Amino acid sequence: MNHSLEVKNLHVSIDGQAILKGFNLTVPKGEVHALMGPNGTGKSTLAKVMAGHEDYIVESGEVLLDGVNILGQEPDEISHAGLFLAFQYPMEIPGVSIANFIRAAKQARLPEGEEINAIEYYKELYAKMDALKMDRKFTARSLNEGFSGGEKKRCEILQMAMLDPKYCVMDETDSGLDIDALRIVSEGVNLMRSEDRAFLVITHYQRLLDYIVPDVVHVMFDGRIVHSGDKELAKELESKGYDWVKEAFATASA
């Protein structure tokens, strides 16, 4: 079995406009890959397509989890297959508490007739909240409703930790975070790093990668990866700016 998240020659469009144009990527378990690039190159589209969003049209290509193509599956099936997407803009769900939401998500993974053990569930929830320095009172608040940017992102990482996915896709998790929140969120992610799990960290800025140190950095431009390297590449990008990417690769992709 192939233990990786693999995207093969993916072409995606929305409203007749091509966004992903032959995107290729392999993230093996145990590794953290960063995907960087200027705005509007298709980073968030990639994240949503992998999670099964129905607004996008997949023209061709595959997204394989452990060798199995997940394109065309329902978002909940993809979630059960082990892919977690930490949203750039998490949705507010009024009246549904964090505790009940995560519990429902865990319950949905159990075979029919099996019930979550409530005591063990709360034990695990509180332990993970402590690690993310979240107040326990938080569990009773409505999911993301009236949360600050930092609270929303911490809540995404809490869900990720509780659902124990094999493949974590994090879409601009650093946006809207101050430096303290950034550190706490990163520590939460680092605690989850393991041989059995892969991360794809989508970000616009190098700053996040000081805390979540990637094994590989990819640069995306105009719907595909144009350059890959180690963590130093992120720093190079930071100093040279994305104009450098545009100049270096605009001609190549034309």
Partner 1 sequence: MSDIDLQDQAIQVDTEKGNFKYPENYEFDAGIGLTEDTVKYISDVKDDPDWVREFRLKALEVFKKKPMPTKWADKDLENIDFDKIRYYLSKGQQPARSWDDVPDDVKETFERLGIPEQERKFLAGVEAQFDSEASYSRMKEDLEKEGVIFVGSSEGLAEYPEIFKPYFGKVIPTADNKFSALNSATFSGGSFIYVPKGVKLKQPLQAYFRINAENFGQFERTLIIADEDSEITYMEGCTAPKFETATLHSAVVELVALKNAKIQYITVQNWSSNVFNLVTKRGMADEGAEVKWIDCNIGSRLTMKYPGVVLKGKGARGEVLSIALANDGQHQDTGAKMMHLADNTTSNIISKSISIGKGRSTYRGQVHMPKHLKNCKNNTECDALLINTNSRTDTYPAITTRGQNNTVQHEASVSKVSAEQIFYMMQRGLSEGEAMSLAVNGFVNELMKAFPMEYSVELKRLIDMEMEGSVG
Q: How far is the CB of 250 from partner 1 (least distance, A)?
A: 32
Query: Could you tell me how many residues of this chain bind partner 1 (CB under 8 A)?
Result: 35
User: Which of these, 148, 137, 103, 135, lies nearest to 122 by C-alpha position?
Assistant: 103
Work out which of 2, 40, 67, 108 binds partner 1, going by CB under 8 A: 108
The smaller minimum CB distance to partner 1, of residues 98 and 237, is found at 98
Q: How far is the CB of 31 from partner 1 (least distance, A)?
A: 22
Q: How far is the CB of 75 from partner 1 (least distance, A)?
A: 4
Task: Answer yes or no whether residue 74 interacts with partner 1 by CB under 8 A.
Answer: yes
Q: How far is the CB of 139 from partner 1 (least distance, A)?
A: 11
Task: Answer yes or no whether residue 51 interacts with partner 1 by CB under 8 A.
Answer: yes
The smaller minimum CB distance to partner 1, of residues 105 and 131, is found at 105
What the block records as the tokens of 124 is: 């695990």
Give the separation between CA 76 and CA 96, rounded to whole angstroms.
19
Contact status, residue 12 vs residue 49, Cβ threshold 8 Å: yes
What the block records as the tokens of 154 is: 């911490």
Task: Answer yes or no whether residue 137 interacts with partner 1 by CB under 8 A.
Answer: no
Fill in the per-residue mask, 76 to 95: x = in contact with partner 1 (CB under 8 A), - = not in contact.
x-xxx---xx-x--xxxxxx
Task: Answer yes or no whether residue 146 interacts with partner 1 by CB under 8 A.
Answer: no
How many residues does this entry show for the chain? 254
Task: Answer yes or no whether residue 75 interacts with partner 1 by CB under 8 A.
Answer: yes
Give the separation between CA 27 and CA 7, rounded to whole angstroms.
9
If DSSP codes are grouped into helix, strand and coil, which group holds residue 201? Answer: strand
Give the separation between CA 56 and CA 221, rounded to whole angstroms.
19
The smaller minimum CB distance to partner 1, of residues 56 and 242, is found at 56
Task: Answer yes or no whether residue 105 interacts with partner 1 by CB under 8 A.
Answer: yes
Q: How far is the CB of 121 from partner 1 (least distance, A)?
A: 9
Q: How far is the CB of 89 from partner 1 (least distance, A)?
A: 9
Contacts by residues 36-40 (CB-CB < 8 Å, ≥ 24 positions apart)? 36/202, 36/203, 36/204, 36/206, 36/217, 36/218, 36/219, 36/220, 36/234, 36/237, 37/204, 37/219, 37/220, 37/221, 37/242, 37/245, 38/204, 38/221, 38/242, 38/245, 38/246, 39/204
What residues contact 162, with CB distance under 8 A and at least 6 apart?
102, 105, 106, 124, 125, 128
The smaller minimum CB distance to partner 1, of residues 33 and 103, is found at 103
Residues forming contacts to partner 1 in the complex (CB under 8 A) are 51-54, 74-76, 78-80, 84-85, 87, 90-96, 100-102, 104-106, 108-109, 115-116, 118, 122, 142, 159, 163
